[in-house]
């Protein structure tokens, strides 16, 4: 189903004026930027929770907001599935009653959401007894159960630590793939956006400073998290599987990854940390690492964080190296190299669903 | 054997406090909700008027009521064409108690509503709930403890009402005499034993009211908000 989200908002915030305009047909649109850059304001305006001074919002031709015409559709009539940072689960209801809040008697839908998010075992639990990751899944489930026309996810995993976030990300990917609902994902985690979104808006101080496909826009400098290594997000399709591994076709190159829940033929999204990739100038042999991919250096970035950009198939792969290694190997743009990636360095982010 | 005047006083006290609380409940809770969530013109006037009985001597309100309800008063037979039959009756005591307890019930309810996170109500609305559904399935359950406390405060205030009651309803044993006015009557007559007995009943009823509300709260599921 095609859809079309348009918004054009201008409103004064405490430190700056938010001024953003966007028309997007992306099935999942990412809003990326440091905290305090206006991401939540946009999402709250889309949900109808926050008034803006000047603005227009329309989804697939239906106008939700037009300040010039004095039109503002009530939040209830927008039918958005909003998952705010604090989830706002109803504390006096159990998990199932929370899910049913927006959908009433549609047992089929509730059952499907319970299954997709794997929260069936929690259905009779009090929401106060849930862990952070469970709360996130229930909040996502409740939003889905309201049959939204647009999902708004504001840092849905923001409160979780990184390993847990990576474990929950596949649920989001599965939601994206199994429910035909466009979504807007707010995150300051480049990997999340790269894995889940088709298009990303990079925000700074209330303005869109960059826009495009995540692979192009979210280069390591953009992901600027000095403490953590950049995660390359690679997309492909599973060609064959064994009991423990899956061979993923990245469009011209095959990558062996852990099996996870992948099945032959399904799309797969993988992440590989930039500091876990080795670079060789000749094809190495007698190596335990299962992936040796022929590639070509595209860019070399020297400095505090020395990095090399190469490509696998058409997909960019950043590799963290030291200056000395770059110098000794004589890496420069155009140089043919071999990227060495262990199977276990490939993390499966997608769900392995059939679509 | 218990003195029949004591039994009457207990009966009338419970009747007056019960009916008064029942009458006050809906409007006081509704106004509490309104003041907790909405801005409207004249809001501060409404707030002040609703709080007024708390800040004036009950006898002043009793006197004003008496003045209004007497034959030639604003609410008297000559003005309305009918006799409301409130003066010197238990219904008059209900009216006096209701007016005096209204601000307490309203304020306690307002605090209870203010403690419900507004974002939860908004979330309910975003999920498609109508205004009525939001109130019924989110606001009221989350404010339940505070609302119960509000009713208890109103009931207790009505139980202890003296000044306005004694002026509007009098202090007629078996007809309008409550525990509060009965104690005063017994003291005036030098009947310490009866005063003590009535005081003991007052304490027992207060205890019962608090205990009942605690019990109600404990048996309602998932009371933590």
pLDDT tens, residue by residue, B138-168: 999 999 989 999 999 999 999 999 999 999 9
Beta bridge partners of A338: A280, A294
CA B116 to CA B108: how far, in whole Å? Answer: 13
Least confident of A190-194, A196-200, B6-10, B122-126: A190-194
Contact residues, chain A to chain B, C-beta under 8 Å: 47-49, 74-76, 78-80, 82, 84, 86, 88, 90-94, 101-102, 126, 128, 142, 146
pLDDT of residue A310: 87
CB contact under 8 A, B225 and A91: yes
A80 interaction partners in chain B (CB closer than 8 Å):
126
The H-or-E segment that residue B103 falls in is helix B90-114
Question: If pLDDT is split at 50, 70 and 90, which confidence band does B18 have?
Answer: very high
CA B101 to CA A189: how far, in whole Å? Answer: 55
Q: What is the pLDDT along chain A (355 residues), one digit of tens a residue?
A: 578 999 999 999 999 999 999 999 999 999 999 888 999 999 999 999 999 999 999 999 999 999 999 999 999 899 999 999 999 999 999 999 999 998 877 889 999 999 888 899 999 999 999 998 899 999 999 999 999 999 999 998 877 887 788 878 888 888 888 888 999 999 988 888 988 999 999 999 999 999 999 888 887 764 455 556 788 999 999 999 999 999 999 988 899 999 988 899 988 999 999 899 999 999 999 999 999 999 999 888 876 667 888 888 888 898 988 888 999 999 999 999 999 999 999 999 886 654 4
pLDDT of residue A303: 67
- Looking at residue B25, what DSSP letter applies? H
pLDDT of residue B219: 64
pLDDT of residue A172: 87
B117 interaction partners in chain A (CB closer than 8 Å):
88
Phi, psi of B209 (to 5 degrees): -65, -50
CA B179 to CA B200: how far, in whole Å? Answer: 10
Task: Write the pLDDT tens digit of every residue in B57-70.
Answer: 999 999 999 999 98
Of the candidates A64, A110, A89, which has an alpha carbon nearest to the alpha carbon of residue B123?
A89
pLDDT-above-90 percentage for chain B: 80
CA B137 to CA B124: how far, in whole Å? Answer: 9
- Measured between CA atoms, the residue of chain A closest to residue B130 is A76
CA A248 to CA A265: how far, in whole Å? Answer: 9
B122 interaction partners in chain A (CB closer than 8 Å):
49, 75
CA B66 to CA B70: how far, in whole Å? Answer: 6
- Measured between CA atoms, the residue of chain A closest to residue B141 is A92
* pTM of the model as a whole: 0.82
Of the candidates B19, B12, B23, which has an alpha carbon nearest to the alpha carbon of residue B202?
B12
Residue B214 has pLDDT above 90, yes or no: no
pLDDT of residue B141: 94
Q: What average pLDDT score do residues B200-206 get?
A: 94
pLDDT of residue A210: 92
How near does any CA of chain B get to the CA of A91, in Å? 6
CA B208 to CA B203: how far, in whole Å? Answer: 9
The H-or-E segment that residue A249 falls in is strand A245-249
């Amino acid at each position: 189903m095609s859809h079309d989200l348009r918004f054009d908002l201008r409103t004064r915030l405490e430190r700056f004026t938010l001024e953003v305009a966007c028309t997007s047909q992306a099935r999942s649109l990412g809003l990326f930027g440091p905290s305090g850059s206006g991401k939540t304001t946009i999402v709250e305006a889309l949900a109808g929770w926050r008034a803006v001074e000047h603005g227009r919002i329309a989804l697939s031709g239906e106008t939700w907001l037009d300040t010039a015409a004095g039109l503002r559709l009530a939040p209830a009539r927008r039918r958005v599935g909003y998952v705010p940072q604090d989830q706002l689960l109803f504390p006096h209801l159990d998990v199932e009653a929370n899910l049913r809040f927006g959908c009433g008697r549609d047992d089929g839908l509730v059952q499907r959401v319970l299954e997709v998010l794997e929260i069936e075992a929690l259905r009779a639990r009090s929401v106060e007894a849930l862990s952070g990751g469970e709360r996130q899944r229930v909040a996502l489930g409740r939003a889905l159960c309201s049959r939204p026309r647009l999902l708004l996810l504001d840092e849905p995993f923001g409160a979780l630590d990184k390993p847990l976030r990576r474990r929950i990300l596949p649920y989001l990917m599965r939601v994206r793939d199994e429910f035909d609902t466009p979504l807007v994902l707010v995150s300051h985690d480049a990997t999340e956006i790269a894995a889940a979104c088709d298009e990303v808006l990079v925000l700074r101080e209330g303005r869109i400073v960059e826009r495009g496909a995540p692979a192009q826009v979210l280069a390591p400098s953009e992901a600027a998290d000095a403490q953590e290594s950049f995660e390359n997000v690679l997309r492909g399709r599973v060609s064959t599987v064994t009991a423990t591994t899956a061979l993923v076709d990245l469009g011209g190159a095959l990558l062996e990854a852990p099996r996870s829940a992948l099945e032959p033929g399904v799309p797969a999204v993988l992440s590989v940390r930039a500091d876990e990739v080795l670079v060789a100038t000749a094809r190495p042999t007698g190596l335990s690492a299962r992936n040796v991919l022929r590639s070509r250096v595209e860019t070399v970035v020297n400095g505090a964080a020395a990095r090399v950009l190469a490509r696998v198939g058409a997909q960019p792969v950043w590799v963290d190296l030291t200056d000395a290694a770059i110098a000794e190997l004589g890496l420069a743009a155009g140089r043919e190299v071999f990227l060495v990636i262990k199977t276990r360095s490939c993390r499966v982010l997608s769900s392995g669903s059939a679509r | 054997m218990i003195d029949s005047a004591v039994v009457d006083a207990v009966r009338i006290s419970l009747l007056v406090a019960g009916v008064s609380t029942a009458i006050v409940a809906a409007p006081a809770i509704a106004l509490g909700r309104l003041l907790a969530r909405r801005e409207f013109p004249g809001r501060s006037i409404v707030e002040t008027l609703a709080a007024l009985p708390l800040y004036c001597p009950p006898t002043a309100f009793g006197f004003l009521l008496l003045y209004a309800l007497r034959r030639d008063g604003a609410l008297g037979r000559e003005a309305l064409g009918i006799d409301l039959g409130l003066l010197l009756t238990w219904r008059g005591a209900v009216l006096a108690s209701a007016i005096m307890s209204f601000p307490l019930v309203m304020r306690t309810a307002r605090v209870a509503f203010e403690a419900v996170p507004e974002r939860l109500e908004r979330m309910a609305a975003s999920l498609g709930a109508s205004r009525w559904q939001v109130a019924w399935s989110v606001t009221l359950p989350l404010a339940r403890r505070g609302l119960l406390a509000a009713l208890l405060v109103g009931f207790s205030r009505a139980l202890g009402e003296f000044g306005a009651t004694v002026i509007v309803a009098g202090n007629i044993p078996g007809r309008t005499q409550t525990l509060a006015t009965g104690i005063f009557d017994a003291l005036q007559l030098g009947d310490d034993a009866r005063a003590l007995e009535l005081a003991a009943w007052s304490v027992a009823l207060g205890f019962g009211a608090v205990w009942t509300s605690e019990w109600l709260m404990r048996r309602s599921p998932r009371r933590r908000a």
